[in-house]
Amino acid sequence: MMKYVSTRGQAPAVTASQAILNGISPDGGLYVPEKWPEISLDWSVLKTQTYSDLATLIFDAFFDDFSVSEIDYIIKKAYGKQWETDNVVSFHEENDLTYIELFHGPTLAFKDVALQALPHLMTTAAKKQAMSDKIVILTATSGDTGTAAMSGFGDVSQTEIIVFYPEEGVSEIQRQQMQTETADNAHVIAITGNFDDAQKAVKTLLADESLAKDLKAEGLRFSSANSINIGRLVPQIVYYIYAYAQLIKDEKIKAGDEINIVVPTGNFGNVLAAYYASQIGLPVKQFIVASNENNVLTDFFTTGKYDSNRHFKVTNAPAMDILVSSNLERLLYFASGQNSDEIQAYMTALQEDGAYVIKPDTRANLNKFVAAFATQDQVSETIKKIANATNYTIDPHTAVGRYAYEQTAVTGPTLIAATASPYKFSETVLQALNMAPVSGQAALAQLSKMTGTEIPIQIATLFNKPIRHKQVIDSKQILATLKHEIF
């Protein structure tokens, strides 16, 4: 049986289902596999398989305390008709570069891939652990996590989903998606201020012991839909394996050839999944970590110093506006040779001083990682350049990756994660293409006309839907509001 241990080494090892239910380890660390599962990746077979086949292979290996029929049930629920595409993802070629479009799910961003699976992983795990409490998912979102989490958890029995988003700093599409959510178990509340304010308020709730007691008395317990949950990470390994198999099938590469992987990065979940894929046998030459102007990671990979003491910037790629990338801790754990004392020291320094410097030996193990960042102007220029040169329209997050790809000048076959639909950020994309400013439904129509593509069915009628969630609160009211919503 696989064991999941804490990166900080101060909590007991647990099974996959316990790790999924706990979210974060009790010592504040993140759950990581004690050993990599043994999977034989026979590419001549894998290249003929469907996305769901590969998802089954990976889920079976990492979540090995789930039965075969439980995994089948979860995969069927997660990767069914809610996807525009038969095989979840699709591809677009630009010479040596292959975009893997991860945004054909219900909310048009890559987070759907994991968040369509997580609720079923959690409720199945709860059954296995004979846990009868109702799971309350509490999340602060800069946009994409909230909508994707509600789409996944919406109307899933034994769960409630509560989303706090900043009144300022989400795109118009994202706001409309949240305010029109129809699931009975979804609660959506705007907080005055920016994402940092919303995030801080939610963290206070999660750390409130007397609140946890009140919840327990009501048969409720908090959990996390954030990418610190191992149940969000593992589903993301699948598409890197699937993409590699498809590159072989399309004769772009031969089995065993190394590829580069470019990932627009925020909390470091998506690029970490690519690293996990490499640890179970995906041949990777370089990982390209792409950031926006909140370029903590670019500096980290260039200097070995992680320094979050800087001004938080709200950018045109808002899902990557973040100064503390939680999942980096998981990479450092492996780079340090699974040295939890070393990780504990870094995380203490981060807590106390907002910064830490990693040891040379640990840094040497990160030699496959390169990093670069794009300013907001460079994002706009990249969107325009790619549209003009290749007639392909990318969203601002993917544009950050595309710019970093050029900057780092990696060579050979390269995969780039296209993390959101351009429609989700229509206003920014139109602006980059020098169009007169329009918003809402008009922006969708304009982008459709410009690009000769259909408005994705998921949002085609978004602006006709009734607004159901109008509440705006001050962060001081968050505890009272939460209690009112769930008790």
Ligand X SMILES: *Cc1c(COP(=O)(O)O)cnc(C)c1O
List of residues contacting ligand X (CB under 6 A): 109, 111, 144, 227, 264-270, 319-320, 397, 419-420
What is the C-alpha separation between 17 and 28, in angstroms, rounded?
18
Q: CB of 327: closest distance to ligand X in angstroms? A: 7
Number of neighbours of residue 187 by Cβ within 10 angstroms: 21
Closer of 326 and 451 to ligand X (Cβ):
326
The residue (of 268 and 405) whose beta carbon lies closer to ligand X is 268
Distance separating alpha carbons of residues 24 and 145, to the nearest angstrom: 17
Please list, in sequence order, all residues whose beta carbon lies within 8 angstroms of the beta carbon of residue 464, skipping any fewer than 6 positions away.
none
Backbone angles phi, psi at 50, to 5 degrees: -80, 170
**Smallest separation, CB 274 to ligand X (Å):** 10
Taking the least distance from each CB to ligand X, the nearer of 264 and 456 is 264
Cα distance between residue 6 and residue 9, in whole Å: 5
The SS3 call for residue 25 is: coil
CA-to-CA distance for 88 and 79, rounded, in angstroms? Answer: 7
What are the backbone angles phi and psi of residue 370, rounded to the nearest 5°?
-125, 155
Residue with smaller CB distance to ligand X, 325 or 344: 325
CB of 82 or CB of 192, closer to ligand X: 82
Structure tokens given for 418 = 């296209």
Least Å distance between CB 44 and ligand X?
A: 31
Q: CB nearer to ligand X: give 224 or 227.
A: 227
- If the CB atoms of residues 227 and 481 are measured against ligand X, the closer one turns out to be 227
Provide the minimum distance between the beta carbon of 48 and ligand X in the complex, in angstroms, as a whole number: 29
Closest listed residue to residue 188, CA positions, set 128, 134, 143, 246: 143
Sheet holding 97-101, edge to edge: 90-94, 97-101, 414-418, 259-264, 284-291, 369-373
Q: How far is the CB of 342 from ligand X (least distance, A)?
A: 23
Which residue number, 20 or 228, has a Cβ lying nearer to ligand X? 228
The nearer residue to ligand X, 169 or 248, going by C-beta atoms, is 169
> What token pair was written down for 331?
């990479």
Give the up-direction half-sphere exposure of residue 211: CA atoms within 13 A in the CB hemisphere: 20
Q: How far is the CB of 226 from ligand X (least distance, A)?
A: 9
We find the least distance from the C-beta atom of residue 317 to ligand X, in angstroms, to be 7
b (16+ CB within 10 A) / e for 101-127: bbbbbbbbbbbbbbbbbbbbbbbbbbe
What is the C-alpha to C-alpha distance for residues 222 and 23, in angstroms, rounded to an integer? 9
Tokens of 107: 């909310």
For 101, the token pair is: 């479009």
Least distance in angstroms from the C-beta of 10 to ligand X: 26
Ranges of H-type helices in 50-162: 51-62, 68-78, 111-115, 118-128, 144-153
Residue 87 CA to residue 89 CA, distance in Å, equals 6
Query: Nearest approach, Cβ of 240 to ligand X (angstroms)?
Result: 13
Residue 286 Cβ, how far from ligand X at the closest point, in Å? 17
Nearer to ligand X, 117 or 319 (CB): 319
